[in-house]
Amino acid sequence: MSMSTVFSPWQQRAYDHAVAALDAGRLGHGLLVCGPAGLGKRAVLDRLARRVLAQQRDAHGEPAPGDRSTRLIDAGTHPDLQVISFVATKDGSKLRTEIVIDQIREVSQKLALTPQYGGAQVALIDPADAINRSACNALLKTLEEPAPGRYLWLVSAQPARLPATIRSRCQRIEFRLPPREEALAWLQAQGHAAAEAARALDAARGHPGLADDWLRHDGLALREAVARDLQRLEKGEIGVVETAQRWANDELADARLRHAADLALEQAGTVGLTDPARLNKLATWFDAANRTRDLLRTTVRGDLAMVELLLAWAGSDRGRAVGARRG
């Protein structure tokens, strides 16, 4: 990220916290930065990496103009910074959906080497919750053998997916949803009208990053269309198969499912304990919607996975028959 990028107040707080620990010599080998997706966790670590690896610094400890390390990071060629994420499958047709052991072994091998510039190395894993089990075991070994000036940073929106043994060996910076007034002020500073900002923030249940994204990309209109579809499916006013095909067959499929899962959760909050059967159905369906999002990233036909999900929403047990036929 550019050094001129202006942080949100919650990003600035997280960055200041990390810098204070770094400057006091209290920033450990392992760091887990977690919290809801879309709050800017990765951007904070990108800037922190520039500070850690800088060769020329200004009076505030930030990279000085023209700093060589910053130029190398911008070019993606800094030898002491590793960024680990999803890589292509062996045939190159798509990205893997998990981070695998070979990637973690490479991290460990590089962290064991002497830094090429300065005295530090940084490895940044994003998203850390996608590390598979065997890779987690290899990562644990690396966390257990810290070396001075070696930093291993994990970014996660779902830290509970990481083994407790890894979480316990990392310092933690947790991003939380900011106070409503702060979020509204930030949304307005992004150029959104006050009334629209409030409407989007309420729909996003206080998440300013989501609200901003929806306001920029017609996300609210999509959310309202998904809500109408779910309502009409329950009433039997529209067909499951044609709705599933419409939901699955464009680049908005994942966004629709995210909205649908969120709307189910929202409805569960209003139902409360007054209707336990309904509450159970909504909770089950919320999990199923998120599993379907994962399925869409694999080779499973998206429309079939979507049909099964929407049959369950419409109250039909034909969903089990669809599942049986697919198996």
pLDDT tens sequence across 30-42: 999 999 999 999 9
Kindly tell me if the per-residue pLDDT of 118 is higher than 90: no
Averaged over 11-26, what is the pLDDT?
Answer: 96
* H and E: helices and strands count for the chain: 15, 5
One-character DSSP codes across 149-166: TEEEEEEES-GGGS-HHH
Report in angstroms the alpha-carbon separations of 109 from 114, 127, 130, 141.
11, 20, 20, 12
Q: How do residues 142-162 score in pLDDT, each as one tens digit?
A: 999 888 999 999 999 999 999
Kindly tell me if the per-residue pLDDT of 315 is higher than 90: no
Kindly tell me if the per-residue pLDDT of 322 is higher than 70: no
Kindly tell me if the per-residue pLDDT of 240 is higher than 90: yes
Averaged over 43-61, what is the pLDDT?
Answer: 96
| pLDDT mean across residues, the chain | 90
Averaged over 76-93, what is the pLDDT?
Answer: 90
Angle between helices 253-271 and 276-296 in degrees, nearest 10: 170
Burial of 43 (0-12, 13-18, 19+ CB in 10 A): middle
Query: Domain extents for the chain?
Result: 9-174, 178-216, 218-326
Kindly tell me if the per-residue pLDDT of 299 is higher than 70: no
Query: What residues have CB less than 8 Å from 187, skipping those under 6 apart?
Result: 197, 200, 201, 208, 211, 212, 215
* Predicted local confidence at residue 324, as pLDDT: 33
Kindly tell me if the per-residue pLDDT of 325 is higher than 80: no
* Predicted local confidence at residue 319, as pLDDT: 34
Question: Greater confidence, 283 or 88?
Answer: 283
Q: How do residues 202-216 score in pLDDT, each as one tens digit?
A: 989 899 999 999 999
- Four-residue CA torsion sign, 57, 58, 62, 65: negative
Angle between helices 9-23 and 180-189 in degrees, nearest 10: 100
Pick 218-326's CATH classification: 1.10.3470, 1.20.272, 1.20.5, 3.90.380.
1.20.272
Kindly tell me if the per-residue pLDDT of 190 is higher than 80: yes
* Predicted local confidence at residue 29, as pLDDT: 94
Q: How do residues 264-280 score in pLDDT, each as one tens digit?
A: 988 888 876 678 888 88
For residue 33, what is the DSSP state? E
Strand partners for 153: 31, 124
Task: Write down the pTM of the prediction.
Answer: 0.84
* Predicted local confidence at residue 225, as pLDDT: 96
SS3 readout for 72-109: HHHHCCCCCEEEECCCECCCCCCECCCECHHHHHHHHH
Averaged over 205-234, what is the pLDDT?
Answer: 94
List, in sequence order, every beta strand (DSSP E) within 17-66: 30-34
Query: What residues have CB less than 8 Å from 54, skipping those under 6 apart?
Result: 62, 63, 64, 67, 69, 70, 118
Distance separating alpha carbons of residues 323 and 327, to the nearest angstrom:
6
Question: Greater confidence, 249 or 41?
Answer: 41
Domain 9-174 sits in which CATH superfamily?
A: P-loop containing nucleotide triphosphate hydrolases (3.40.50.300)
* Predicted local confidence at residue 264, as pLDDT: 92
Phi, psi for 27 (deg, rounded to 5): -85, 115
Dmax (CA) for the chain in angstroms is 67
Question: Greater confidence, 243 or 93?
Answer: 243
Query: What residues have CB less than 8 Å from 263, skipping those under 6 apart?
Result: 223, 226, 227, 230
Return the percentage of the chain with pLDDT > 90, whole number.
75
